[in-house]
Structure formats: C-alpha cells, structure tokens
Structure 1
Amino acid sequence: MDFDLPSEHRMMRETVREFCDEEIAPVAQDIEDDHTFPADIFDALADLDMMGVPVAEEYGGLGGDYLMYATVAQELGRVSGSVGLSYVAHTSLGAKPIEMFGTEAQKERWLRPLAEGESIGSWALTEPTSGSDASNMDTTATEDGDGYVLNGTKQFITNANVAGSILVKAVTDPDAGYGGISTFIVDPDEDDGIAVTNVWEKMGLNASPTCELQFDDCWVPADRLLGAEGEGWKQTMKTLDGGRISIAALSTGLAQGAFEAAREYATEREQFGQAISEFDAIRDKLVGMDRKIERARLLTQKAATKYDDGEDVTRLSSLAKLDASEVSREVAEDAVQVLGGYGYTEDFAPQRFYRDAKLMEIGEGTSEIQHAVLGDELGL
C-alpha cells in the first residue's frame, strides 16, 4: 500500500489505523447524521499525541515530519472525511503557521495548546465575495492604540465554532496589494466583536463544522500580529503548500475507504451463482480503482517527502492535490456503482465517501485553480 516508509512511520500508521477501525469507523455515519463535531474523538487523538504530529517537541508536538502527518491524515480519511478534514485544518492551517511565523511567546501561548490537543485550531482566509481570488479581501485591521481593530466577514471557515484560536487574514494597508495583508491570532472565547453567524448545512462532511465569521470592531492587542505587517500573503502561499498536501492525503484516504468497502462487498455479494468480483466488469472496475489510489498515494508521499527536505513544493503539492482529489471522487463514485442500489443507501459507506470527496476538488484551491498554479509553475 505504501512505498518503503520508515519503520516509525509504519508503526504510526498501524497505531492510527487500529484507533480508526475501533473508535471512529463504528460511529462515522452517526456523527454525520447528528451533524455534531466529535469532540471525544479529538480528545482521544490528543491522548495518542496525534494533534501535533508535525510540530516540534519543544512546543508540545510529536516532532514528526510531514510524511508522518500525511500518513495520519490518510488513515483518518479512510474512515471519516469529517474527522480527517477538521484534523488537517487544525494542523496545517491552525497550528503550523504559528510554528513557522510566530514569536517564541506566541508559540508558547498559542501553539502549545494546539499541539497538545487542549484546543482546536482554525484559519480564516476566504470571504463571501472572494471565492478563488482569496487576495480580494475586504476584512480590515486598523491600528488602534496598542492593538488593531478587525472588521469584516469570513466564509467557509472550518472548525471556527469549536476553535481555541483562529488565524485571521486582514488588510492592514489597502494601497499595498498583496503586500498589505497581515495575519492575526484571534481568541474566539475571550475577544469581543467576533461571532459565528452561520454553521453551514452541507452536502457532506457535516461532522466537521464550516462557519461564517463576523468581525465587528474586534480589538486584538499588537502581540497577536503573526510575523510583520504585510507578510500575510507570503505566509498564506507557504501555508497552502502544506495545506494542499493535507488535502491530497485526506483524498487518498477517502478513496481507500471507498475502495475497501467496494472490494469487501464485491467478494461477498453473489449473483448468478458466483461472487460479483469474478465478473469482468466489476473486477476491472476494482483494479482501476486500486491503480488510481496507488498513483495518488505515491504522488502525495513524494510531495510530503520533498516538503520535509525543504524543497519548493508548489508544483508537487498542487499536482498531488489535483490528482488525489479527482481520484477520490472517481473512486467513490465507482464504489457506489459496485454496490448498486445498496451503494445509494446510508447503510453502506460509499455514499458518504462520495459526498465527502466532492469538497476535495474545491477546498484549498479548486481543481481549476490548481491548473492555473501548475501552468504558472511550467511557465505557461
């Protein structure tokens, strides 16, 4: 299933897989039906030291690399897209930017509780009118005494209503273009002027909350500025390199879960006196699904490995995200087809993987945006 992972990565994979099979898989459909964030599952992940896998040990993390983190994300996605999505948003978007760009004081105050699993992280970039043009930002941060006042609306923000900290992108210099965007750490429990105004009912992934945030004269002290003024967009681009790998890993996991459900059904279901897996049409479909998953997995692992080596991974992370997200949707659709009528019912998992997979082609940059990114990388 994987290329030659280091032994500690294989041990981690087995630990997480056992937890997923025993603790998450039995309730995966229930938490979707309830549309409830599974706080108990994340508490258990914290007990397993999984909430800060790629964060340095000195800040409460596990000290693993991005390949290890991607392996964990893949295993979570294999049983629950919702758990996987909230996990990767917490890690690659809510925690890692603080480690990469924060001061020592910020890392101690804000990163440590995230890495230790005491709180959940969130990242607020998208706005109602920005869509794929994330730099088209109306949220502002105006200097006020020894702090800043934030005003504006953020849309489609994962984990916002359960987060202990939110990294908010806002314009500090309207005349500076990309160089006028900055990042602020907001505490939704203590800061006034921030409100969750909507939690979206979605096509899938409903145990992972997706929220609208409103900032009305939300004052934050100056020590909440992450990095320097005007560095927010550069930070965003660096963060998205890791975020795309996260979605690629999650997508690969979703595809794997859908494939396993289809293979199990096909080997047990009999028609015309034999298992349906013995019919060419079903066998060939399963072989094609497996082939696509292996391609997506290897590309994701390559991107994560290059990321760990400190290389520029914009092209590879975009390739991995584009390919794995489309594979996820294609494999999940095929899984529904293998199960026939049963695949369309909530008694079987493929319908959930199918609905969850669609977001993978949208979040962290749509497939169309990935084509644009890759074209730029190729000098086209």
Structure 2
Amino acid sequence: MQSFYSEQQKILQQTAREFSIAELAPKAHEIDEKELFPIDQFKGLANLGLTGLTLDSEFGGSGGEYVDMMVVIEEIASVCGSTSTILITHVSLGSQTISRFGNFDQKTKWLPLLSTGKKIAAFSLSEPQNGSDALGLNTKISKHDTNSYLLNGSKIFTTNGEVADVFVVFCTSDKEAGYKGISALIVDKNTKGLSVIPQHGKLGMRGSSTAEIIFDNCIIPVENRIKDEGDGYSIALQILDSSRIMIAAQCVGLAQGAMNAALDYSKQRRTFNKPISQHQSISFMLADMATELDAARLMTWRAAKRHDEGLTYSKEAAMAKLFSSEVCGRVVDKALQIHGGTGYFKPSIVERMYRDQRVTEIYEGTSEIQRLVISRAILK
C-alpha cells in the first residue's frame, strides 16, 4: 500500500507513527479509563502542524491533501481512537467548514487560531429528536436586529463540545421551508446564553469530550453566518461527504492497531507446544483480517484521491466509510478472539478498540445512511 503514497506522505506517515508511539500509546489507557481529554497530546499535534492539515494555507493552515490527512489519521487511530476522533472533528468538520465555505473575514479571524491549535473547533448538527434526519432541526434563529440573530435550541453528541472554543452550528429560520430554511453559523463559546453540559458514560472513544450545547437567546452577529441564509443544508452534506473519508481512515487505523496486537500475541502465546499463529484456525483468521483491511485501505485511498483530484467522491466516500467501519468491527472482533480471555480484560488494547470501533458505524452517518447514499447514486 505504501507504494501508493508519495515520498512526502511516507515521511508524514513516519512522523505521525513516531508521535503516536511516543506520545499517545503511553497515555491511551488512562485517557480512556478516566475520560480525559488529551490536551497535551492535542498540543503536540498542533506543534507538528497536524491541526492545520488540509486547511487553507493562505490563512495559516498547513495545506496538504486528503490523502495526507488519511495517512495521519490511520497512524493516530492505530494507537488511540479518542485522539483521532478529536483531530477529525477539529479539522475535517469544524475548521474545514470555515476553510471551504467561510468568507475572507471569517477565515482571517478564525483559521489562524484553529490551524495552530490555539483554539479547538466543534461541529453541532445532531439534536435530541433528529438523529439521521438532518432536516428535522429544531434549533432556531430569528432576526434580533439588522446586524444580529437570536439563536435558541440545543444540540447533543457534540464532539469536542466540552473543550471547544468555536462551534459551527446548524439551525433553521423557517422549519416549513425544509432544507431551504437551514443556515450555518460560527458561534464563539463565550457567547452569552450558551451553556455546555458534558455527556459522560460512553462505551468507547471515551477520551473525546462529548457534550450537549444549549443556546438560550444567544445573540449571534450576522457576519458569523457562513454563506447565505438557506445554504446550511448543502454545507453540512458536503462537509459530511468529505469527512467520511477521514472516518474510513480512522477505521483502517483502528483495525490495523488491532491486527498488530493480534499478530504479536499470536506469535508469543503458545498452546500444544507451538505458537498459536501456527494453528490453521488462527492463521486463517489473520489472513481474512489482513485481506479485508487491505481492501478497506484501498477504498479509503480511492475516495481521498478522487477528492484531491477534484472528481466526484460522494458515493466512494460513503462506500469507504461503510465498508471500513464494518471491516473494522470484524477485525477487532477477531483480534479479541485471538487474545481469548486476556483480550477481554483491561488494559488490553483490543478490549479498548473493540469498544472504540462501535461508534464508527453510527457517527457521521450510520451504515444505513451510507447504504442510502450509495443506492441513490447507483440508481440514478
């Protein structure tokens, strides 16, 4: 697979791998166990320029392609799923929305701080009642005066929500207008009337902070609206399309981490006077894991490459996210099976990855939504 990467991407891969082993691996269990946001590790990613990867270099971003980001996310996720989720949300959701759709003034104000990791971004779309129905928004904006809106409502499952400085918030000005009534706003965490309620107790990805965000008569300047009123739905769909490539990369990374652990354990663990890797039942399991993992990586690379070359990629991104998330589930399941009872207990890395994987079939579009996107594309 590395032959598909440029020399620069191979260097980036090695840099991310070394950082992950040195800075993430020693803390990954504690981050998960105590639900700790890895702020020092986030700062380390910022120091490497990774919090600005793919963002507009004219406004302080590191530039780079989606294949570059794919390489980085895979390496980070192979060691710590929580940290990869934090980085994906900060870059590919929150910051990327401003980078791709913001105007000059918005980019000038926010991107230098986001790209350098001095501020953390979040993406607020999900609400208590809407789930996969992105049109079912109840968070509303109304005109306060000619220069500002009143924002009221709530969001749930906002990744980075507890620590974010900047929220990209999707809301409706006219529920009867459907998608034409949805707009996107940039909201500062210090806005009066904004409150954050942490949501603890997740099964996996426990180090990535998740929160409910309440907006109570928040006054938001019109200048914080991204593009025009009614453009929010299109913005959300385009951002989710591209960010799904990064979730696919995360799944490849999680699966690779579990695969690595299974390979190492199978060579060390002995039964019937030989390593269990020499038992056909185990070796065939590893062969299936390696084959599916390679296919998932290739599908993710194809989606990222199509994005970078300016080709359509919505179907390919959905395919990569669907396949990679479900492959990851099968790989981590087999990895835990190979570990046996040892893998069932903490602090086994496969125990953590088994829990971390599950949400990848839910967030940024459930597997069912991916099948909907794919089926619509092929039935046109």
Q: Report the TM-score range of the alignment, normalised by the length of the smaller protein.
A: over 0.9
Q: 2:362 maps to which residue?
A: 362
Inter-partner Cα distance in structure 2 for 1:53 and 1:78: 19
Q: 2:193 maps to which residue?
A: 193
Amino acid at match of 1:56: D
User: How many angstroms does 1:347 deviate by?
Assistant: 2.8
Inter-partner Cα distance in structure 2 for 1:44 and 1:370: 33
Matches within 5 A, 1:325-364: 325-364=325-364
Q: Describe the SS at the equivalent of 1:19.
A: helix
- Alignment identity in percent? 38
Q: Describe the SS at the equivalent of 1:205.
A: coil
Tell me, yes or no, if the aligned pair for 1:149 and 1:218 is still in contact at 8 Å: yes
Q: 1:149 maps to which residue?
A: 150
Amino acid at match of 1:333: D
Amino acid at match of 1:345: F
User: How many angstroms does 1:97 deviate by?
Assistant: 0.8
Q: How many residues align?
A: 379
Inter-partner Cα distance in structure 2 for 1:134 and 1:106: 25
Q: 1:50 maps to which residue?
A: 50
Amino acid at match of 1:166: F
User: How many angstroms does 1:3 deviate by?
Assistant: 4.2
Question: What does the per-residue CA deviation read over 1:330-361, in whole Å, with 9 as the maximum and x for residues that have no partner?
Answer: 10011100000001011320011110000000
Q: 2:314 maps to which residue?
A: 314
Inter-partner Cα distance in structure 1 for 2:329 and 2:52: 28
Inter-partner Cα distance in structure 2 for 1:370 and 1:3: 29
Inter-partner Cα distance in structure 2 for 1:13 and 1:222: 41
Stretches of 4+ aligned residues off by more than 3 angstroms: none
Q: Is the counterpart of residue 79 in structure 1 residue 82 in structure 2?
A: no
User: How many angstroms does 1:52 deviate by?
Assistant: 0.9
Tell me, yes or no, if the aligned pair for 1:3 and 1:298 is still in contact at 8 Å: no
Unaligned runs of 5+ in 2: none
Inter-partner Cα distance in structure 1 for 2:205 and 2:260: 19
Q: TM-score normalised to the size of structure 1?
A: 0.98
Q: Is the counterpart of residue 182 in structure 1 residue 183 in structure 2?
A: yes
Matches within 5 A, 1:193-232: 193-232=193-232
Inter-partner Cα distance in structure 2 for 1:347 and 1:130: 36
User: How many angstroms does 1:196 deviate by?
Assistant: 1.0
Tell me, yes or no, if the aligned pair for 2:247 and 2:360 is still in contact at 8 Å: yes
Q: 1:21 maps to which residue?
A: 21
Inter-partner Cα distance in structure 2 for 1:147 and 1:232: 17
Unaligned runs of 5+ in 1: none
User: How many angstroms does 1:173 deviate by?
Assistant: 2.4
Tell me, yes or no, if the aligned pair for 2:53 and 2:64 is still in contact at 8 Å: yes
Amino acid at match of 1:198: P
Tell me, yes or no, if the aligned pair for 1:2 and 1:298 is still in contact at 8 Å: no
Amino acid at match of 1:63: G
Q: Describe the SS at the equivalent of 2:218.
A: strand
Matches within 5 A, 1:193-272: 193-272=193-272
Superposition RMSD in Å: 0.9
User: How many angstroms does 1:175 deviate by?
Assistant: 2.8
Inter-partner Cα distance in structure 2 for 1:378 and 1:200: 40
User: How many angstroms does 1:372 deviate by?
Assistant: 0.9
Amino acid at match of 1:30: E
Inter-partner Cα distance in structure 2 for 1:134 and 1:56: 27
Q: Describe the SS at the equivalent of 2:93.
A: helix
Q: TM-score normalised to the size of structure 2?
A: 0.98
Inter-partner Cα distance in structure 2 for 1:121 and 1:37: 14
